[in-house]
Structure 1
Amino acid sequence: MARVAVIGAGVIGVSSAYLLARAGHDVTLIDAASEPGMGASAGNAAQLSWAYGDAMASPALLKHLPAIAMGRDPAFRIRWQLDRDFLCWGLKFLANTPFSSWWNNTQEILRLAEQSRHELVILLKETDIEFDYRVAGKLHLYADRQSFAAADSSVARKNALGFEQRLLTRVEAEDVEPALAAYQGEIAGAVYTPSDALGDAAGFCRQLTAWMIERRQVSVLFGRKVSTFVQTGSVLTGLRFEDRDELRVDAAIVAAGPEVRSFISDLPEARDIRPIRGYSLTVRRTGLAPSISLTDVKRKLAFAAIGDRFRVAGLADIERPGAGFDAGRFETLRLAASAVLPDLFERSDELMRWSGERPMTPTSMPIIAASRRIKGLYINAGHGMLGWTLALGSARRVVDFFQ
């Protein structure tokens, strides 16, 4: 049994702590925030996209990059930076846009998502936690015939891998989700994935952490920031903090989202991670809200009914780390959501405005690896927009390091 610290209490860190504790390790969960799930997990799209793990770097996005670069796409924004890491990340991203690279990356992501789904089944049987989880199914909505026709080959490839996806007309999509009759956006067709699920990621973090404290004797240190790693030679022996005594450990997992870059000197692997800022708006759920998760492909909007709340999430801003909430970009999201579902986003009380950084790699595959510099130090980060989907599968791969 090893003494293991997990740095970061979002879905990645909490999932890692859970599986490590289940494997019999003595786990301490650490976060600079006052409670778990307060970073990207707090306002993400809530969708568990088992069958939709498409890498962002793709032939389709490459064709669209000139418009993005010139600021003509409201869903994406690039703030150019004279920074070596930014330029290297961008070149690696471009190198992954050819079809063969995109499909290889996507298949790797789908395999990791399948591991997550398997682990979630076990977790739900073992624990009694509540986080508004349900198998809701998902509809990807395509605005024009050209993009809908292009989805045909993707559906065929995923069906060949064993996923269930179906191409639907708008009328058929409205049969699956009657609330789409009020959808003001164009729908040339839809891809339906009945097995995709959803859940409140922040609620998952809080509930599972409480369960681990009670049932697995996991220790927690919230409101504490790790400053440096303690080594004996090249072997990790402890963690130093800004405001408390050193913690002795045998190993540490850095799952701190975009903050992982603060450890680059000891984790050079983190250099391939850049923050992609996203936004969400959560309102009260009414009878007009769709029950099935929706993704508007043209507008890059994701909608999910989470218990008594309804959320839209979207935008992808590649900008300097720590840029913070941009009221203008949030308004872009709100207006786009109001344009397609006005009865929900113009006439409902706002419950939460959120913006956060999602740590992403050029391949969209997370980095789950041992540090090249310190024995006993590991990284589990870089999941981008798929952190919630990939969390438990990533945690399983971390535990495999200790076998």
Structure 2
Amino acid sequence: MRIAVVGAGVVGVASAYLLARADHEVILIDAAAEPGCGASAGNAAQLSWAYGDAMASPALLKHLPAILAGRDPAFRVRWRLDADFLVWGLRFMANMPARRWWNNTSEILQLADESRREMAKLLAETEIAFDYRIAGKLHLYPDAKGLAAARLTIERKRRLGFDQRLLSRCEAEEVEPALKTYQGEIAGAVYTPGDALGDAVAFCRQLTDFMVSKGRVSACFGRKVAGFDQHKGQLSAVRLTDRDPLVVDAAVVTAGPLIHTLVADLPEAAEIQPVRGYSLTVPWREGAPRVSLTDVKRKLAFATIGQRLRVAGLADIERPGSGFDADRFGILREVASAVLPACFDRPPEEVRWSGERPMTPSSRPIIAPSRRMRGLYINAGHGMLGWTLALGSARRIANLVA
């Protein structure tokens, strides 16, 4: 079949790869001039095979009053009179109770494990370079209460086959010596030795080049999709804003926040809202962590990508297209500098990033055929876990198309 993949972030490029590997003719389309320019451009870089916890959770429910009152620096909600936004918010809160949170989390973990297996196959076939390595990850907990709750989650994940370990601060410092000078509270940590990391932008660009060079995929960049044509309920073409329609047999939409421009043809897009995040990337310095870190209290994720150190965080639920907020970025910098001052205090050079991560109320991505048009599929809504879930989602969408 001739298949268009709309969106060239990690999910779109991964989808194109697995569709092409199934012997389809694939056209990869993106409004940007090259792959990986959206949410993939500055993500946390962590491939959290054993994390995958849904954002709507009992822990977040406890903090909800502070968040709604604007007293939680890691989260910000800007209310607006929009039916889709209000419905999304109500559904998000409905997913916070413990039972729903665990159902969502266990589903995400299964998808993450599928991604892990597909990543191993991809690395064996392509040998592309994107600073991939199994770095392990430490979740840092500030108090005994949080650590006790984490113990219960570890036991659940172990029953699913995931390797996680509860460590004291001293044990965590043995795993990552940089924690000896960490300026945040650490009552203990959850260690996941098998978690990995990698440069998502390099993945998008290297894999796209590989697919094009092998004749598996054709690239159509700098082109914005306006909608889809159909004949008797069957997709027939992808409409572009500045050229003739592309005749195709099927299309997979993986676009990030721009997916809302396609809601007329893809009603499932109404179930997705953008959650804005920020990141700061600086040159790696001696003494910086090599193991990935997640500060549970401050909602910060640290990752060393080659010779760069990145911190990512914040979750702003606001109007699509709100753009970079210097004050919010300042909060990220301030908190990162407070806990790792030797790494983030007046770096010689830095890369600042902000982007919208499309998310469903349950944190589970939508991987499904469109309700409105045969031959049209959606693979979107991964939120903060797009990099982790990309290849597993791609495998599922390829199976659906088949």
Please give the range of the TM-score, normalised by the shorter of the 2 chains. Answer: over 0.9
Aligned partners of 1:201 and 1:233: how far apart in 2? 39
What's the secondary structure of 2:111's corresponding residue? helix
Counterpart CA distance in 2 for 1:383 and 1:349 is 34
CA-to-aligned-CA distance 1:190-236 (integer Å, 9 cap, x gap) = 00000000000010000000000011431011000011211112111
1:272 paired to 2:271: yes
Match of 1:323 in 2: 322
Contact 2:74 2:313 in 1 (8 A): yes
* Superposition pairs of residues 3-402 of structure 1, within 5 angstroms: 3-402=2-401
User: Residues 94-149 of structure 1, C-alpha deviation per residue, up to 9 Å, x if partnerless?
Assistant: 11111111100000000000100010000000002000000000000011121112
How far apart, CA to CA, are the structure 2 residues paired with 1:64 and 1:316?
14
User: Aligned-pair distance for 1:304?
Assistant: 0.1
TM-score normalised by structure 2 residue count: 0.99
What's the secondary structure of 2:328's corresponding residue? helix
The CA distance in 1 between the partners of 2:390 and 2:328, in whole Å, is 28
SS in structure 1 of the partner of residue 350 of structure 2: strand
Shift of 1:328: 0.2
- Alpha-carbon distance in 1 for matches of 2:361, 2:254: 18
Q: Partner letter of residue 80 of structure 1?
A: W
CA drift at 1:351: 2.6
C-alpha contact (below 8 Å) 1:22/1:216 kept by paired residues: no
Shift of 1:261: 1.2
Corresponding pairs, count: 402
Q: Distance in 1 between matches of 2:215 and 2:68?
A: 49
Gap regions ≥5 residues in structure 1: none
Q: SS of 1:162's equivalent?
A: coil
**Native 8 Å contact 1:21 1:216 kept in 2:** no
1:166 to partner: Cα distance: 0.7
Q: Name the SS for the 2:84 alignment partner.
A: helix
C-alpha displacement of 1:310 = 0.3
User: In 2, distance between residues paired with 1:60 and 1:351?
Assistant: 33
Pick which of 24-33 and 258-267 moved more. 258-267
Q: Distance in 2 between matches of 1:402 and 1:70?
A: 45
User: Offset of 1:38 from its aligned partner?
Assistant: 0.4
Tell me the alpha carbon deviations over residues 279-335 of structure 1, each in whole angstroms, 9 at most, x when there is no partner.
000000011110000000000000000001000000000001110000000000000
Q: Which runs of 5+ in 2 are unaligned?
A: none
Identity of aligned residues (%): 69
Separation of aligned partners in 2, 1:370 and 1:273 = 16
AA aligned to 1:211 is F
RMSD: 0.7
CA contact (8 A) 2:11 2:387 kept: yes
